[in-house]
């Protein structure tokens, strides 16, 4: 795939004095040329979501703007669609939407309906189809906390402790229960609990809350199994009422740990090296430690103390014949001893000193044995950012130690990967460093006053400049009542932290915004230590030289929404040059196409909203009455590992108490409904017991999903694979994960109203016609598994008209369409709602104090003038007193990023 880049590579062959000669070599040119060709042919996209606030409650709406970039953060010209999804802590996708991308941006919103979003931690992702060719770690990933103050009778607070013994992790969980209304402990209540992973029960037990309302559960298991597990506790409230609470064990099942990272990758005898370390607590977050390094004779060689979030650094020169241990004392007084990484007898090391404002200072250090074997040989240093090479140089190994400098001006702001290679292209050492030019767009917000009244009109004047020159840019602005939404700014995800830092590194970065906003004099040093603890493999020179390229199986969506499929006759033969007509009745839209020589068709550049009915007809084709139209199932990105799991919050009720209390007040203000009594004859629910094929199945399904659970589902095929817990799809078959990973790999058998169907059939089932979905992990005594060679059953029950109800001929045709007409509801673009901002220019009836919004204003379409760089927004304050926080983020057409935070007071 070829792509015309908007950013030129800077390929600099520079002379180091005295180490690096200016003499070019074919080998170096080959590496640089191939690396350049790789990133040119296989560019890298990124997505960032600017959210209106950092956490939410059920019933809220997430307002966001997506920034989709390529190269050095320029607006993408590759993808025209961005995907956003939310997965629960069981890794089942709860919401999935598509948005059209125009000039690199898209605006969207997701309603957090209480029926679909229970209180808990969720995984928010954003990506393009093209990004699916790469590791999901490079998607936009964020832990999303959602509370629920309304449908709540209890408040919980959980704490975990763990210990290691005989290769097992012993976990003790203490769950404190309180009445949500009276805030009193729930005493002497029976609690049953299970530990569940991938829908499988690992442990279970029962107990009773004590005099403080605390219940305790203890269990032991393999650390790997517990990391993906959850504790499910069910408290018996009496009167046949039980309440279930779920607590993820991802951060509770790991003990304390310390990892060590020698600079350059390895320790070498006789070479003094920097060694970074990172200490984490059982919750996976950094913890303070202190300690010492000793050799096998007990001599103390170095003392160490963590500097920031459990990270620190010390230096060591390993000696021949000696081994080394690190004696660690954690903040709680516990101690542990760790071995340092393996020491090489012969080698060369790359060190980078990043404390010079203008240069990256580099040192190559070879020990005696390595120098004797390799004296006079040629070595390369290549430095790249985002896959683009910005520096390439060479040297002859004439001395054991060489020092040189690379001007930082050669690199853009961001992560730089420096690699030392032999003249055969073998990578020996690698180091990543962060170059910070503080050259973000100069974006500012100002207002006529710093103090306002409630419901007073506010005008914010916005100015954007690149250095001193005004720029035209696209921005989004969020204004929140900070009193209602308190949070740690160091832990924020911003357009700068995401685009420049976290999206460039695999793995979790704790409190990334600290490195961009901190006034701490040690922030730059702490950022360099962070770099030492990170792995980076965007470019593998081994693969570059072997001409190994990414396997592109999903291509950029440059033609908007597409629907494809196959046209056949009623004997199954494909039809070439068949005529097809597509209709979207709700948009009065029509399109036409013909099939290719093997019967394939494709409609491109479509534009319709989610849940739209789409009709594809072959009636006007030759011999149309004998033709059959089918549609290809839409490919889907399955849930990926949540690399932000360490941001999960166990005790949502207490951590976000101010926000949830305000959300409860909002709910009460808008839901003052009188109680009514409804009397009606019950309607029998359609279920598997209506069909004789299911004789022998249990009366109750293992999982059941009603129509209310599918309100936001546009396509049953897509929803099924995300809705049913513990399943995956492969080769158009649905599997339970337990079966999929076993040697006896058997799929689930799908039924619709008792009729066996394959998975692709579900593309033709209208979601609005589904009454329920029943899931059985076992076929029981029905014999279905033996008959079909499957394992497990999914029965889809369609709605039935009540007996005696008349339906029209048109309604009957819709229920049983002819095969030459295909009626489907593919996933279209999500409806883009406008943020409601009340106007108080004219006094309205109502009690002052009723406007309790936490997001006061959201403006996703802010653009600055090219000539002046200026624009303005206007809105009215809510009724909250305190500090209001306005945050603007965005970029200009050249990919320069900007962010600014402005505060004012409301009295």
Model confidence pLDDT, tens digit, residues 347-367: 999 999 999 999 999 999 999
Spatial distance between the Cα atoms of 188 and 28, rounded to a whole number of angstroms: 74
Spatial distance between the Cα atoms of 392 and 543, rounded to a whole number of angstroms: 18
| Helices and strands of the chain, counted as H and E runs | 13, 55
- DSSP E strands: which ranges in 707-790? 727-730, 733-736, 749-752, 755-757, 770-776
Classify burial at 883, counting beta carbons within 10 Å of its beta carbon; exposed 0-12, middle 13-18, buried 19 or more: middle
- Residue 403's alpha-carbon distances to 350, 363, 378, 571, 641, in angstroms, are 10, 4, 16, 76, 42
Spatial distance between the Cα atoms of 60 and 150, rounded to a whole number of angstroms: 12
Spatial distance between the Cα atoms of 870 and 461, rounded to a whole number of angstroms: 7
Spatial distance between the Cα atoms of 439 and 437, rounded to a whole number of angstroms: 5
Closest to 378 measured CA to CA, from 345, 417, 419, 425: 425
- Residue 256's alpha-carbon distances to 163, 308, 398, in angstroms, are 9, 17, 45
Edge-to-edge strand list for the sheet holding 359-366: 348-353, 359-366, 401-407
Residues 6+ away with beta carbon under 8 Å from 273? 262, 263, 264, 267, 315, 316, 317, 318, 349, 351
Under a CB-based contact definition with an 8 Å cutoff, are residues 838 and 851 in contact?
yes
Spatial distance between the Cα atoms of 686 and 771, rounded to a whole number of angstroms: 7
Phi, psi torsion values for 136, nearest 5 degrees = -60, -15
Spatial distance between the Cα atoms of 812 and 808, rounded to a whole number of angstroms: 6
CB atoms within 10 A of CB 674: 4
213: left (phi over 0), alpha (psi -120 to 50) or beta: left
Phi, psi torsion values for 650, nearest 5 degrees = -75, -40
Spatial distance between the Cα atoms of 739 and 578, rounded to a whole number of angstroms: 41
**R_g over Cα of the chain:** 31
Phi, psi torsion values for 226, nearest 5 degrees = -75, -30
Under a CB-based contact definition with an 8 Å cutoff, are residues 232 and 244 in contact?
yes
Q: What is the DSSP letter of 523?
A: H
Residue 12, pLDDT score: 37
H helices of 13-85, in order, are 26-41
Spatial distance between the Cα atoms of 410 and 10, rounded to a whole number of angstroms: 8
Spatial distance between the Cα atoms of 650 and 753, rounded to a whole number of angstroms: 41
Spatial distance between the Cα atoms of 854 and 878, rounded to a whole number of angstroms: 8
Residue 626, pLDDT score: 93
Under a CB-based contact definition with an 8 Å cutoff, are residues 43 and 78 in contact?
yes
Spatial distance between the Cα atoms of 629 and 818, rounded to a whole number of angstroms: 10
Spatial distance between the Cα atoms of 849 and 764, rounded to a whole number of angstroms: 50
Residue 892, pLDDT score: 95
Residue 302, pLDDT score: 95
Spatial distance between the Cα atoms of 777 and 754, rounded to a whole number of angstroms: 17
Identify the segments of the chain with pLDDT beneath 70: 1-26, 198-199, 250-254, 535-538, 636-643, 671-684, 711-712, 714, 801-817, 843-849
Closest to 83 measured CA to CA, from 104, 62, 106: 106
Under a CB-based contact definition with an 8 Å cutoff, are residues 45 and 69 in contact?
yes
3-state DSSP assignment of residue 473: strand
């Amino acid at each position: 795939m070829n792509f015309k880049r908007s950013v030129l590579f800077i390929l600099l062959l520079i002379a180091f004095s005295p180490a690096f000669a200016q003499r070019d070599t074919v080998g170096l040119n080959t590496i640089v040329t191939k690396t350049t060709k790789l990133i040119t042919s296989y560019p890298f996209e990124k997505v960032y979501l600017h959210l209106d606030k950092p956490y939410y409650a059920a019933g809220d709406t997430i307002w966001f703007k997506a920034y989709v970039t390529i190269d050095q953060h320029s607006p993408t010209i590759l993808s025209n669609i961005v995907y956003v999804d939310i997965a629960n802590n069981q890794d089942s996708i709860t919401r999935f939407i598509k948005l059209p991308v125009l000039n690199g941006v898209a605006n969207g919103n997701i309603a957090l309906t209480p029926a679909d979003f229970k209180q808990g931690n969720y995984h928010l992702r954003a990506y393009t189809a093209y990004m699916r060719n790469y590791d999901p770690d490079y998607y936009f990933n964020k832990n999303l906390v959602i509370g629920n103050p309304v449908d709540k009778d209890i408040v919980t607070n959980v704490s975990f402790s763990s210990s290691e013994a005989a290769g097992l992790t012993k976990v003790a969980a203490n769950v404190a229960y309180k009445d949500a209304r009276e805030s009193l402990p729930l005493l002497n209540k029976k609690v049953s609990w299970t530990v569940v992973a991938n829908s499988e029960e690992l442990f279970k037990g029962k107990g009773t809350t004590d005099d403080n309302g605390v219940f305790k559960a203890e269990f032991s298991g393999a650390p790997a199994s517990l990391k993906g597990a959850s504790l499910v506790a069910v408290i018996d409230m009496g009167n046949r009422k039980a309440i279930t609470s779920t607590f993820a064990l991802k951060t509770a099942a790991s003990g304390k740990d310390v990892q060590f990272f020698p600079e350059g990758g390895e320790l070498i005898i006789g070479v003094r090296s920097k060694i970074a370390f990172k200490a984490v607590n059982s919750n996976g977050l950094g913890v303070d430690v202190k300690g010492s390094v000793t050799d096998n004779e007990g001599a103390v060689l170095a003392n160490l103390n963590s500097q920031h979030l459990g990270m620190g650094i010390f230096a060591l020169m390993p000696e021949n014949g000696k081994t080394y241990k690190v004696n660690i004392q954690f903040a709680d007084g516990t101690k542990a001893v760790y071995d340092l990484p393996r020491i090489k007898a012969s080698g060369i090391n790359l060190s980078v000193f990043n404390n010079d404002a203008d240069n990256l200072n580099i040192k190559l250090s070879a020990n005696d044995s390595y120098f004797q074997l390799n004296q006079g040989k040629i070595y390369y240093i290549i430095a790249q950012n985002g896959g683009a090479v910005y520096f390439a140089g060479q040297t002859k190994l004439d001395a054991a130690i060489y020092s040189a400098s690379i001007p930082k001006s050669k690199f853009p702001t961001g992560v730089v990967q420096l690699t030392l290679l032999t003249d055969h292209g073998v990578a020996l050492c690698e180091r990543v460093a962060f170059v910070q030019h503080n050259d973000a767009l100069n974006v500012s917000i100002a207002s006529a006053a710093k103090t306002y009244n409630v419901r007073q009109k506010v005008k914010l004047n916005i100015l954007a400049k690149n250095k001193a020159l005004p720029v035209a840019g696209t921005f989004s602005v969020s204004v929140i009542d900070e009193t209602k939404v308190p949070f740690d700014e160091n832990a924020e995800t911003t357009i700068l932290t995401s685009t420049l830092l976290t999206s460039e590194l695999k793995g979790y970065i704790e409190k990334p915004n600290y490195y961009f906003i901190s006034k701490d004099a040690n922030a730059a040093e702490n950022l360099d230590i962070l770099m030492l603890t990170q792995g980076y493999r965007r470019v593998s020179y081994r693969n570059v030289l072997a001409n190994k390229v990414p396997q592109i199986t999903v291509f950029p969506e440059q033609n908007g929404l597409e629907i494809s499929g196959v046209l056949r006759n009623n004997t199954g033969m494909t039809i070439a040059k068949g005529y097809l007509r597509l209709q979207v009745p709700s948009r009065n839209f029509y399109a036409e196409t013909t099939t290719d020589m093997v019967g394939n068709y494709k409609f491109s550049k479509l534009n319709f909203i989610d849940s739209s009915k789409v009709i594809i007809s072959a009636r006007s084709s030759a011999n149309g009455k004998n033709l059959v139209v089918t549609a290809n199932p839409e490919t889907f990105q399955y849930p990926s590992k949540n690399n932000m799991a360490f941001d999960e919050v166990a005790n949502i009720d207490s951590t976000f108490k101010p926000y949830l209390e305000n959300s409860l007040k909002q709910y009460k203000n808008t839901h003052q409904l009188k109680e009514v009594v409804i009397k009606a004859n019950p309607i029998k629910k359609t279920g598997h017991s209506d069909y004789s094929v299911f004789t022998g199945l249990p009366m109750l399904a293992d999982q059941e999903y009603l129509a209310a659970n599918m309100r936001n589902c546009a396509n049953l095929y897509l929803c099924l694979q995300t809705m049913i817990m513990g399943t995956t799809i492969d080769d158009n078959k649905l599997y339970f994960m337990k079966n999929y990973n076993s040697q006896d790999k058997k799929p689930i058998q799908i039924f619709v109203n008792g009729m066996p169907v394959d998975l692709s059939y579900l593309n033709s089932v209208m979601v609005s016609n589904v009454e329920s979905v029943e899931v059985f992990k076992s076929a029981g005594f029905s014999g279905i598994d033996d008959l079909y060679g499957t394992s497990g059953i999914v029965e889809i029950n369609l709605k039935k008209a009540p007996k005696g109800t008349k339906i029209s001929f048109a309604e009957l045709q819709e229920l049983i369409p002819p095969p030459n007409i295909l009626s489907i509801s593919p996933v279209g673009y999500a409806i883009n709602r406008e943020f409601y901002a009340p106007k108080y220019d004219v006094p309205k009836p109502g009690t002052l104090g009723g406007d309790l919004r936490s997001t006061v204003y959201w403006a996703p379409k802010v653009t600055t003038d090219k000539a002046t760089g200026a624009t303005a927004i206007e809105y009215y304050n809510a009724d909250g007193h305190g500090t209001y926080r306005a945050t603007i983020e965005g970029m200009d057409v050249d990919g320069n990023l900007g962010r600014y935070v402005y505060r004012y007071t409301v009295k």
